[in-house]
Amino acid sequence: MTEQDPIQLWRYIRLEEFSKPKEPTKETVRKGVLGFLKKFRRTPPQTESAISHTDLHVFPPDVLDKVVSPPDWYEQFSALNVVLEDWLKLTADQEEFSAQIIVGAPYSGTSQGVTHWATTQRWRIIEPPGIEQIFEGGKDWLSQLDTGKNMPLVIPCLERFYLRHHDGLTLIRKLLGWLWNNRCRCLIGCDSWAWAYLCKAIHIDSLFPNPFILEAFDHERLQHWFQSLSLISGKECFVFRQTDNGKFVIPPKKTLETPGNNNIQTKKPLNNSGKPASVTNFLNNVASYSRGIPWVAWAIWRYSLRQTPDGDVLKTIQEDAKTDRCCMLWVIPWSQLNLPIIPYTKNQKQPFVLHTLLLHDGLPSQVLSHVLSISDVEIIQILHHLKNDGILDVEQGIWRVTPLSYPSVRQFLNSEGYLVDVI
């Protein structure tokens, strides 16, 4: 198997071309039946250990960071550079000269990528206003834009420029009007949920060309990516097998060299006994469930990994893969993976909280209370209840939906009729 050029792994496409990976039919049927039965359960089913599997342990976070290292944003930035290089070559008489939009899925690091690009290009970065400035309509804040208005500028996170509140849309309307009237060159990064809301609320899509978005990660891309994340010093040190049937989740790259057959493309991955190895469709399920969002898939992948008590993962890492030995890591089968799901509740305000947090890519609890006109006490109760269920997490005072629970939350909101993003 040849090495993939990292830029091809990460590719930006037009928003209208985006399509999420398809779900395996068997999983669709299983989910449909379980979903229907869930309607009649008052309490969530008792969670079993995914492994009767008492022999398997969860990885400590520091070891997990070495087995499945945090993503390197550099590759994504490279792909962004490719698509923006073509845009930079446009001349002032061409339609898309003025503005370009990059829409990013939740957890995608779009604002970091756009900021990094702006830094390399030495374009002016427009930082988001404060919450109070948004509520006041941004009169004073907007006046700063007039300074150096002919310079190209970058708005890394448009989702921070509005609030879903009757006083929260004035500033962003004025900002867009200013951009349109001044015809200055600008690159705008925006979260996909905020983009969906702004399209409906202020018809932002009629002002700008069709945005770019990262192409969905199907199971093949995920396989390559997870494999690359687990390499140590460029060597394959881990073998991933499913706990129920022993099949490979990621086929190992090692192949059997047969005499006279040096054609790499015809060699198939082999198991320990030298026979062709079979591969599970675990990554197909991950790709479909995560909707092709790599960072959601990454979180699920980390969540599904287990080791045996005598697993020598640390030893493997410490020896820096000097030997050819591979360490066996186990993967919980998809049907036994207990990912966080929305608990049944009659509290109508819970979906409001979830939806609002997604529309704004996270909010502090005080702002959430003000936006929803719900008391602080009630908001805190809902937030902590959802945190205990693994649906939300809080970091530096900002409440967000966790990557593991994101697919479940999105599906719930979609089925209840709430506005959702296109991803």
Partner 1 sequence: MTGDINITQAFHGINKTSIVYIAIIIAAYWLLTKLIERLFFLLEGRLSGRFRLYILPSMPLFRMFFLIVAIMIIIPLVIKPTLQNLIAVLGVAGLALGFAFKDYISCIIAGITVIYERCYRPGDWVKIGDAYGEIKSLGLRTLKLVTPDDTIVTIPHTKIWNTNIYNANEGKRELLCVADFYFHPKHDAAQVRQKLYDVALASPYINLERQIMVIVAEKPWGTHYRLKAYPIESRDQFQFISDLTVRGKTALSKMDVKAITLPIAVKDNYNQ
Chain residues in the site for partner 1 (CB under 8 A)? 39-40, 164-170, 197, 200-201, 348, 352, 355-356, 371-373, 415-419
Q: Show Cβ contacts of residue 398 under 8 Å, excluding neighbours closer than 6 positions.
A: 362, 363, 364
What one-character-per-residue DSSP string does 209-254 give?
Answer: PPPEEEPP--HHHHHHHHHHHT-BTTB--EEEEETTT--EEE--S-
**Toward partner 1, which CB reaches closer, 89 or 166?**
166
**Toward partner 1, which CB reaches closer, 184 or 359?**
359
The torsion angles phi and psi of 282, rounded to 5 degrees, stand at -60, -45
**Toward partner 1, which CB reaches closer, 122 or 346?**
346
Indicate the burial class of 375 (C-beta count within 10 angstroms; 0-12, 13-18, 19 or more). exposed
Q: Which two tokens stand for residue 60?
A: 């400590």
Please report how close the Cβ of residue 36 comes to partner 1 at its closest, in angstroms.
9
Please report how close the Cβ of residue 237 comes to partner 1 at its closest, in angstroms.
47
Please report how close the Cβ of residue 133 comes to partner 1 at its closest, in angstroms.
16
**Closest to 406 (Cα-Cα) out of 69, 112, 48, 20:** 20
**Closest to 163 (Cα-Cα) out of 188, 128, 192, 207:** 128
Please report how close the Cβ of residue 419 comes to partner 1 at its closest, in angstroms.
5
Q: Which two tokens stand for residue 181?
A: 């009237």
Please report how close the Cβ of residue 213 comes to partner 1 at its closest, in angstroms.
21
Instruction: Please say whether the beta carbons of 71 and 156 come within 8 A.
Output: no
Q: Which two tokens stand for residue 77?
A: 């930035």
**Toward partner 1, which CB reaches closer, 200 or 253?**
200
Q: Report, in this order, helix, strand and coil percent for the chain, each rounded to 5.
A: 45, 15, 40
CA distances (Å), 353 to each of 128, 362, 413, in order? 23, 10, 11
**Toward partner 1, which CB reaches closer, 39 or 89?**
39
Pairing mode of beta strands 186-191, 238-242: unpaired
Please report how close the Cβ of residue 416 comes to partner 1 at its closest, in angstroms.
5
Please report how close the Cβ of residue 352 comes to partner 1 at its closest, in angstroms.
4
Q: Cα separation of 257 and 267, whole Å? A: 8
**Toward partner 1, which CB reaches closer, 317 or 380?**
380
Q: Cα separation of 35 and 152, whole Å? A: 50
Please report how close the Cβ of residue 350 comes to partner 1 at its closest, in angstroms.
11
The torsion angles phi and psi of 188, rounded to 5 degrees, stand at -125, 130
**Toward partner 1, which CB reaches closer, 67 or 357?**
357
**Toward partner 1, which CB reaches closer, 136 or 220?**
136
304-337: b (≥16 Cβ within 10 Å) or e:
bbbbeeebebeebbeeebeeeebbebbbbbbebb
Please report how close the Cβ of residue 176 comes to partner 1 at its closest, in angstroms.
15
**Toward partner 1, which CB reaches closer, 198 or 287?**
198
Q: In three state form, how does the secondary structure of 332-384 look?
A: CCHHHCCCCCCCCCCCCHHHHHHHHHHHCCCECHHHHHHHHCCCHHHHHHHHH
Please report how close the Cβ of residue 202 comes to partner 1 at its closest, in angstroms.
8
What one-character-per-residue DSSP string does 256-277 give?
Answer: --BTTB--GGG---B-TTSSBP
Please report how close the Cβ of residue 192 comes to partner 1 at its closest, in angstroms.
15
**Toward partner 1, which CB reaches closer, 307 or 350?**
350
**Toward partner 1, which CB reaches closer, 42 or 122?**
42
